[in-house]
Structure 1
Amino acid sequence: MASTSSVQKRFKYDVFLSFRGEDTRKTFVDHLYVALVNKGIITYKDDETIDKGERIKEQLIRSIQDSRFYIIVFSKNYASSSWCLDELVEIIKCQKTAEHTAYPIFYDVEPTEVRKQSGLVGEAFEQLTRKRKRTLEDATLEKENDVGRWKNALKEAADLAGMELKNTFNGHEAKFIQQIVQDISLKLHLINLSIDMKLVGMETRVRDVISSLELDLDDVRMIGIKGIGGGGKTTLARAVFDHISIWFEGKSFVEDVREVSKGSLSGLKDLQKQILSSVLNDQTIVVAGVSDGKSMMKRMMPNRKVLVVLDDVDDIDQLEALAGETTWFKPGSRIIITTRDEQVLVAQRVNVIHDVTLLSDEEAICLFSRHAFGREIPDQGYEELLRKVVHYAAGLPLTIKVLGSHLCGRTEHEWVDTIERLKTIPLEKTLKRLELSYNGLENDEKEIFLDVVCILKGEGKNDSIRILESCGFNAHIGLKVLEQKSLITISDNDGLRFHDHIEEMGWNIVRGLYPLEPSKHSRLWIKEEIEDILVYEMGSTEATRSIILKYTTLQPTTIMRGLRKMRELRFHSVHKGDIVWAVDEVSQYLPDALQCLYWPKYPFRSLPQPFQANKLVNLEMVGSNISELWEGGEKKVLNKIRFIDLRYSKLETFDLSMTPNLEKLDLEGCCDFYKLHIPVECPKLKFLDLTSSKVSNLNLGMIPHLEVLHIDGCKELVELHLPVECLSLEFLYLSGSKDVIILKNSTCLLNVQSSNS
């Protein structure tokens, strides 16, 4: 999100103070100057001793011209100084342009005295003219011109909207000064805002955040802004800060909290000092240590209504040190926290959490064009190339700005080359920013992340959890952490999703030190690379952990031969292309390290005889040719297997004694299946689906904790035993089954769905 270049004049000073030194230099003007400077207003005050009769200096004229606002402090002796009146003439001259504004302050005189040069002002002015008459012996014309200019300047200044001390706050100077500073601050703020708010797509985003701050409430509120790295969190927070900081007595924008706090042992202490110094306008503050800093903030902060932005926070310890409790702050204060990690905000109990929204295509084009072409509308002839750039950036402001700056002034040919290169070599600056989130993960969370972006994209939440748990991960917590850290999103409809650059970042990490040697990568997902490894049997004994091979035309025997060296493979997924597989039963091989095996339309009649499957947790072979788990009815006990999905396979029988820890058995559509052997108790089995099978008798006495039973379309089923022990059964699906089923020892079921009842 970039600012528009402005054609407005840039001023050296915000305010120029015009005053009579002997009246107010050490009193009112001194206090006013300090108040302006403490508010961050750049103020010019001439403290030089002026010789009587000296003409106004050219340097002072330039200072007047280089100031946006003028505060003219009219005191009883102001009109006695030719220096002050020459200043006033130049000020009124500049005031007539749209870029300058003058504010008369009537300190110990009234506006009418200045306008008509009467009263004390008239006496001072008469005193000046008498002195000049004595001094100028032969310069009558010059004298008359000066006096005429001075009188006009005094009249015009008095006619401007100003403030009169005796009629404001009952003459209390402190409150009077406070009001002057507030008025100037507000006007400066509105001027700067008209420039800063010209940010692509920012107006609505800023308005939403400000609305949640509820500035009219007299409480302390903390809000969070979270999102992907490079997504515009800092830009949004800065825009909000600039928009509302004028309404606070103290303010501090703390950048790079993560980097500074972890960069040195004194990091958090330095940030505490920065906040205290900024909001209290005291650069002499010393913080001895973090605990000392906390005590100082608790003691010193509650006296000021403050606005604090803590940018890029990634640890709750940082917030405990910098904004530990709402009691640290005066009512009306607001704290804004930006982070990639939602859990930090949850732990801090912020009032509202905003997800930063990425740029739309229209906004992206506008931002990119500003960086590439210097204006919002792109050059003609670049429309198609621009569309490709915007598609690659996928709404990420950082990428858009980097590419825009890189392509600025480049030829069309160079544009094409850059876009082509991005297909294989992502932007390093974007990746490094995104990798900060990855680096903050625990080791098991990193492994889950890499499996998600390389293997599980688009998978449903439940399926992903099952696969990850099969590989030994705590998937529920791991996926939640990834979502909280803005690395992935979990959608009920689209499954696991993430930004394209997050995917690039994950791929880049996996390729690591061996970008051109896929056989040394821990995850394999590119079809051509996998097929080369399998065909030429280049698999790594140690490296490869997960493979997903989609729409392959390789024969099963080739796949299995290629797996021989991958002895540490834990997840294997094969989706065949639109071909007919030739089956060679002799060449079967699967690594014993497999924990999750997903092979739809598996072509063999059983699992490979050498395959021990001692680590197998999840087996999915939908639509497969398998008729029995092991050839010849061999009974290998699979102690770790929890999930079996053999839907629409040719399975005929199954013995649950081989799977003592099985939780889910899905045999839906196994039309040849006729016998489920249950010789021993299966205490963990909760889900059983025998839809459309030929089972005729089913006794659930040995499955005491079964919760869901599907026997839809089981036309051969004549007897169903539901012992009293089956108290966990919640759902029984009977639709399309035999018209008469004998229920023996049945219990009260919570939910029976049948078209026959």
Structure 2
Amino acid sequence: MASSSSSIYTKTDQMSDFSYSSDENSFEYYHSLSSGDEDTRETFVDRSMASSSSSFYTTIDQMSDFSYSSDENSSEHEAKFIQKIVTKISVKLHLLNLSIDEKLVGMKERVKNLISSSEVESEDDVRMIGIWGMGGAGKTTVARAIYDNIFIFFEGISFVENVRERSKGMGLKELQRQILSAVLNDRNIDVPGVSDGKYMMKRMMLGRKVLVVLDDVDHIEQLEALAGELTWFKPGSRIIITTRDKQVLIAQGVNVDNIYNISLLSREEAICLFSRHAFSREVPNQGYEELSQQVVYYANGLPLTIKVLGSFLYGRTERAWLDTLERLKTIPLKETLKILEISYDGLEEDQKEIFLDVVCILKGKPKDQAIRMLKSCGYHADIGLEVLEQKSLINISERGYLGMHDHIEEMGKDIVRRLHHTKPNRHNRLWVKEEIEKIIHKDLGTEATRSMIMKYLGIHPAIVMKSLKKMKELRLLCVYDDDKTWEIDEGVQYLPDTLQSLYWSTYPLCWLPKTFQANNLVNLEMPRSHISQLWEGGEPKFLPSSSGNLEKLITFDLCACTNLESFDLCGASEIP
């Protein structure tokens, strides 16, 4: 490059869009932006250059991926080469001095990494970038910060907020008009219909390197209308999409390497963010350290909750803080639930049922076991759980266990409770130990209950079985109990015939109730139980040679049932 330096510096004068001042303290980039009526002049200042020019030269040294040959005598080649260098340097310097709101704790590195990986300086391709995560995690915040820091490198820009809601109200053609108007700087553009808008975007966007952000997308048809294909855009363009649903990005063809799962805040970042909103400083005020830790523990890394609670508690007394924390134990934060419930509302009806069963009954169980139980109740569990995971409503650990964020769990349980908040016996799912104990002792069971999990209640099985007689629509029952042997009169032994999945560890009896027909039972799991035969009768240690009552039985687990010597399932015709 040294051999052609004079030629290059001569050509630099021809590049009116760029200039670098000789005092080495500022890098100036002139660009006509489509969003304004006048040229906008942006100046990048590497603050470290105030005392030293090393940062600029370090940036130059890092540009080893560029080479230039003196044989390239074409002025056009030289101009393009110089422009690449200038753009590369401007991006490098800009990354050293990102302008991000100080209150956006923990976001600077996330934004910087995304800007770097998006390779703004490259004009070799059009790139779609997906930012995916649960509601309130900061997807829009990150997208806005990226947009604000890189828009100057593009010839046309547009940030389309809240696509999910606005596409319902204003319609997709209005969002198409917004993008075209902003990118082309023409407020008089009219889009007659969505199909016309697609054609107009494809024809009119090709001439400009654009930056378009589509925020909160929840359906593939939105992307088909607003960013249909890569061929709509000039090479070098970047399309950033935020969504709660990973499948939308996959269906659009976004490269998996360009899909970023927004991470929640670490404990240190959460304390800093909370302190900024609650105390207007980076650490808690003296005397509020422990209370702040409790708030951050409750928020579990979710920026939305941290900011809401920080702002709410600002300037309040210690007594108010304590009362708020106590209230949160039973009454979830409404503002957080409202945002999170948007993901639930977007589910199909059967997926909503699967989600609520996971929240109330199956959280913490192995995925394979949960699938068995859900399938036994008639749900398409494999695709159902996959959809929930893609929508950031659940997560599956490396060991294969179902989990979810604490606030997602709160949201699901609130949905179950809200219709009959003070009457748990009318809930369709029961999981709270104290509520179940009250229902059982007072015999308050109802047909409303569809699923129930009981953990170590210490109540005599006879009382439990008696209460089940009123739960005539119960389909999923999970019981965890101490390993005890109980004497129960035959007259009170009972299980609802509606049961489709029955899990009862350390089942206390030697057989199932004689009145239990089990004609709907699909999944039977009784690990470590005392059972010796499914029904009383015949040889005490052998199961009947046939039983029409098990004709729907597909899966069963009787591991560690030491009394059971043989198991004949001739009547269970569905078992492979």
Same fold (TM over 0.5): yes
TM-score (normalizing by structure 2):
0.82
2:230 matches 1:319 = no
Q: Which residue of 2 aligns with 1:708?
A: none
Match of 1:652 among 544, 565, 575: 565
- Taking a change above 3 Å as real, the CA distance of residues 404 and 240 of structure 1, as seen in their structure-2 partners, is same
| Aligned counterparts of 1:309 and 1:577: Cα–Cα separation in 2 | 56
Offset at 1:585? Answer: 3.5
AA at the equivalent of 2:109: T
AA at the equivalent of 1:207: K
- Taking a change above 3 Å as real, the CA distance of residues 338 and 35 of structure 1, as seen in their structure-2 partners, is closer
Match of 1:636 among 547, 551, 555: 547
Q: Does the Cα contact within 8 Å between 1:368 and 1:401 map onto a contact in 2?
A: yes
Match of 1:204 among 97, 109, 123: 109
Q: SS at the partner of 1:658?
A: coil
Larger Rg: 1
Q: Which residue of 2 aligns with 1:415?
A: 321
Q: Does the Cα contact within 8 Å between 2:354 and 2:381 map onto a contact in 1?
A: yes
Offset at 1:277? Answer: 0.8
2:571 matches 1:571 = no
Q: Which residue of 2 aligns with 1:496?
A: 402
| Aligned counterparts of 1:286 and 1:41: Cα–Cα separation in 2 | 20
Q: Which residue of 2 aligns with 1:271?
A: 175
2:535 matches 1:623 = no
Q: Does the Cα contact within 8 Å between 2:126 and 2:235 map onto a contact in 1?
A: yes
| Aligned counterparts of 2:392 and 2:32: Cα–Cα separation in 1 | 42
Q: SS at the partner of 1:599?
A: strand
Q: Does the Cα contact within 8 Å between 2:245 and 2:390 map onto a contact in 1?
A: yes
| Aligned counterparts of 1:364 and 1:428: Cα–Cα separation in 2 | 20
Offset at 1:397? Answer: 0.3
| Aligned counterparts of 1:657 and 1:190: Cα–Cα separation in 2 | 70
Correspondence 1:33-44 to 2 at 5 A: 38=34, 40=36
AA at the equivalent of 2:286: Q
Task: State the aligned residue count.
Answer: 495
Q: SS at the partner of 1:223?
A: strand
Percent same amino acid among aligned pairs? 63
Match of 2:193 among 271, 289, 293: 289
Correspondence 1:74-89 to 2 at 5 A: none
Q: SS at the partner of 2:505?
A: coil
AA at the equivalent of 1:546: S
Q: Does the Cα contact within 8 Å between 1:524 and 1:547 map onto a contact in 2?
A: yes
| Aligned counterparts of 2:489 and 2:114: Cα–Cα separation in 1 | 64
AA at the equivalent of 2:458: T
AA at the equivalent of 1:308: V
Q: Which residue of 2 aligns with 1:589?
A: 494
Q: Which residue of 1 aligns with 2:16?
A: none
Offset at 1:363? Answer: 0.5
Q: Which residue of 1 aligns with 2:210?
A: 306
| Aligned counterparts of 1:198 and 1:419: Cα–Cα separation in 2 | 23
- Taking a change above 3 Å as real, the CA distance of residues 35 and 307 of structure 1, as seen in their structure-2 partners, is closer
Q: Does the Cα contact within 8 Å between 2:31 and 2:152 map onto a contact in 1?
A: no
- Taking a change above 3 Å as real, the CA distance of residues 409 and 525 of structure 1, as seen in their structure-2 partners, is same
| Aligned counterparts of 1:413 and 1:197: Cα–Cα separation in 2 | 29
2:484 matches 1:484 = no
Q: SS at the partner of 2:150?
A: helix
Cα deviation code 1:706-744 (max 9, x no counterpart):
xxxxxxxxxxxxxxxxxxxxxxxxxxxxxxxxxxxxxxx
Q: Which residue of 2 aligns with 1:607?
A: 512
Higher relative contact order (CA 8 A, sep 6+): 2
Offset at 1:586? Answer: 3.1
Q: Which residue of 1 aligns with 2:341?
A: 435
Match of 1:230 among 136, 157, 160: 136
TM-score (normalizing by structure 1):
0.63
- When structure 1 is superposed on structure 2, of 198-207 and 526-535 the one drifting more is 198-207
Offset at 1:580? Answer: 5.7
| Aligned counterparts of 1:211 and 1:580: Cα–Cα separation in 2 | 65
Which runs of no fewer than 5 residues in structure 1 stay unpaired? 1-33, 45-66, 70-97, 99-169, 171-177, 663-683, 685-757
Q: SS at the partner of 1:657?
A: coil
Cα deviation code 1:16-42 (max 9, x no counterpart):
xxxxxxxxxxxxxxxxxx986755488
AA at the equivalent of 1:514: H
AA at the equivalent of 2:427: H
Q: Which residue of 2 aligns with 1:370?
A: 276
Correspondence 1:134-149 to 2 at 5 A: none
Match of 1:467 among 373, 376, 390: 373
| Aligned counterparts of 1:521 and 1:285: Cα–Cα separation in 2 | 53
- When structure 1 is superposed on structure 2, of 190-199 and 543-552 the one drifting more is 190-199
| Aligned counterparts of 2:99 and 2:202: Cα–Cα separation in 1 | 36
AA at the equivalent of 2:292: L
Q: SS at the partner of 1:654?
A: coil
Offset at 1:203? Answer: 2.0
Q: Does the Cα contact within 8 Å between 2:132 and 2:242 map onto a contact in 1?
A: yes
- Taking a change above 3 Å as real, the CA distance of residues 38 and 598 of structure 1, as seen in their structure-2 partners, is closer
Correspondence 1:325-474 to 2 at 5 A: 325-351=229-255, 352-474=258-380
RMSD between superposed Cα atoms in Å: 2.7
Q: SS at the partner of 1:365?
A: helix
Q: Which residue of 2 aligns with 1:213?
A: 118
| Aligned counterparts of 1:621 and 1:210: Cα–Cα separation in 2 | 54
Cα deviation code 1:582-603 (max 9, x no counterpart):
4333310000100000111111
Q: SS at the partner of 1:552?
A: coil
Q: Does the Cα contact within 8 Å between 1:555 and 1:582 map onto a contact in 2?
A: no
